[in-house]
């Protein structure tokens, strides 16, 4: 059995599509969720069952094109938030007249950006074709929305699946369902960098293919690793070796990520560099500026520093940062950017540097 290890949980929306009263879909969805829940726990995936019938989406009634992201109606905004939070989808669908149900097509048509770069697997059910023609129809649509359909599928013939009024597929169907989940989680992790880069809140970075986004407490494992890579030189250059960034636990990093405004530079899912900022009265404090050791010398630290300065609260008069008193390269960088060291006792372990905040009219 393959178990994918990652620091981030994958949120999987299990979407039951039939809205017809008395439809078989809810029972198929219940079987599917029960069959894959133990594996989801092993993979670190969160399953979120949802029936389109419960959303009560009318036929598309937005004036603006979905690609605009401008939604007038509350039901659209609610649906947008649900899809946006998901990392992948398992669609439970019947086949109606050689195609997918109108409820699924309508739900897809409501949105645009929210679907992009997320995997979608299908569990179909029907009579002669076991719903496979609905899946083929749906794949033509989802690829246009930049959803990524999986190769693994589950196809249930109703005559072989429903026994004594209950959905009880053969054991092979359970194995196929696990295959869908396994593949979906792997693809969801692989596509995560593309999803993040496509978000409106991210911006292009200085390295080809890199992007900048705010760090959240969920990023604590990656931040912890970067800190321990970056601050070894800082520790060696200073005495004693008590640099906090080298000793913080993941939980301690998670706590300060919630308290500071921290941004990270990413590429292909790797955290390349970071910096954090916070206002303290009339001072804008900058800290934890770090760049992966193999990427130093490319100006990334200087770029991150200037990005942090540009975000300074307009009410702040000074920008303040600190570094080890023995960290000559850090001090040289900061002085080249206009920072001046504050007078400190000769035996001080750290040095505080400040510069006037840039005021804009």
Residue 293: is it exposed, middle or buried by C-beta count within 10 angstroms (0-12/13-18/19+)? exposed
Residues 6+ apart with CB under 8 A from 167: 24, 27, 28, 30, 31, 161
The DSSP 8-state label assigned to residue 98 in this structure reads T
pLDDT at 239: 67
Q: What is the pLDDT of residue 5?
A: 40
Count CB atoms within 10 A of the CB of residue 122. 26
Residue tagged 């916070």 (tokens): 278
Q: Which residues contact 322 (CB under 8 A, 6 or more apart)?
A: 287, 350, 351, 352, 353
Nearest 5°: the CA angle 158, 163, 164 is 130
Distance CA 306, CA 311 (A): 9
Who's near 31: CB < 8 A, 6+ residues apart? 167, 168, 169
Enter the pTM of the model: 0.72
Task: Print pLDDT tens along the chain (361 aa).
Answer: 333 344 578 999 999 999 999 899 999 999 999 999 999 999 999 999 999 999 999 999 999 999 888 999 999 999 999 999 999 999 999 999 999 999 999 999 999 999 999 999 999 999 999 999 999 999 999 999 999 999 999 999 999 998 877 888 999 999 999 999 999 999 999 998 888 877 776 788 999 889 999 999 989 999 999 999 998 888 887 765 677 888 899 999 999 999 999 999 998 888 999 999 999 999 999 999 999 999 999 999 999 999 999 999 999 999 999 998 888 889 999 999 999 998 766 667 788 999 998 765 4
Task: Round to whole Å and give the CA distance between 355 and 330.
Answer: 15
List 13's β-bridge partners, or say none.
Answer: 48, 89
| pLDDT recorded at residue 2 | 38
Q: Can you give the pLDDT at residue 344? A: 67
Q: Give the pLDDT score at 238.
A: 79
Domains, the chain, in order of start with CATH, read: 10-198 (3.40.50.360), 204-356 (3.40.630.30)
Q: Report the C-alpha gap between 311 and 256 in whole angstroms.
A: 18
CB 118 within 8 A of CB 188: yes
User: Are 86 and 13 a contacting pair, CB within 8 Å?
Assistant: yes
Is-cis flag, bond preceding 112, omega within 30?
no
Q: Are 10 and 44 in contact (CB under 8 A)?
A: yes
Q: Which residues pair with 249 in a beta bridge?
A: none
């Amino acid at each position: 059995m393959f178990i994918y290890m990652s620091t981030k949980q994958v949120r999987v929306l299990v979407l039951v599509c039939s809205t017809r009263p008395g439809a078989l879909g809810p029972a198929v969805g219940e079987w599917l969720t029960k069959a894959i829940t133990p594996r989801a726990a092993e993979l670190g995936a969160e399953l979120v069952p949802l029936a389109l019938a419960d959303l009560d989406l009318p036929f598309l009634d937005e004036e603006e094109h979905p690609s605009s992201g401008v939604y007038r109606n509350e039901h659209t905004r609610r649906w947008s938030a649900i899809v946006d939070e998901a990392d992948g989808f398992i669609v439970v669908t019947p086949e109606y007249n050689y195609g997918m149900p109108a409820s699924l097509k309508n739900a897809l048509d409501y949105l645009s950006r929210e679907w992009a770069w997320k995997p979608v697997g299908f569990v179909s059910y029907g009579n002669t074709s076991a719903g496979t023609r609905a899946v083929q129809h749906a794949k033509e649509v989802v690829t246009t929305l930049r959803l990524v359909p999986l190769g693994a599928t589950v196809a249930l013939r109703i005559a072989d699946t429903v026994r004594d009024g209950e959905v009880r597929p053969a054991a092979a169907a359970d194995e196929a369902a696990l295959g869908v989940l396994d593949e979906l989680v792997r693809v969801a992790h692989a596509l995560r960098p593309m999803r993040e880069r496509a978000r409106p809140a991210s911006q292009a970075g200085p390295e080809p293919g890199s992007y900048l986004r705010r760090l959240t407490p969920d990023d604590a494992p990656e931040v912890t690793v970067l800190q321990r890579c970056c601050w070894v030189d800082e520790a060696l250059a200073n005495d004693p070796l008590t640099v906090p960034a080298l000793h913080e636990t993941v939980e301690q990093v998670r706590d300060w990520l919630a308290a500071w405004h921290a941004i990270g530079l990413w590429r292909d899912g790797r955290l390349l560099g970071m910096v954090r900022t916070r206002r303290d009265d009339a001072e804008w404090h900058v800290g934890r500026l770090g760049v992966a050791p193999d990427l130093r010398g490319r100006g990334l630290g200087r770029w991150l520093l200037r990005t942090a300065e540009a975000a300074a609260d307009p009410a702040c008069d000074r920008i303040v940062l600190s570094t080890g008193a023995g960290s000559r390269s850090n001090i040289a960088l900061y002085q080249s950017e206009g920072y001046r060291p504050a007078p400190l006792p000769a035996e001080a372990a750290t040095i505080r540097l400040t510069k006037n905040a840039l005021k804009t009219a």
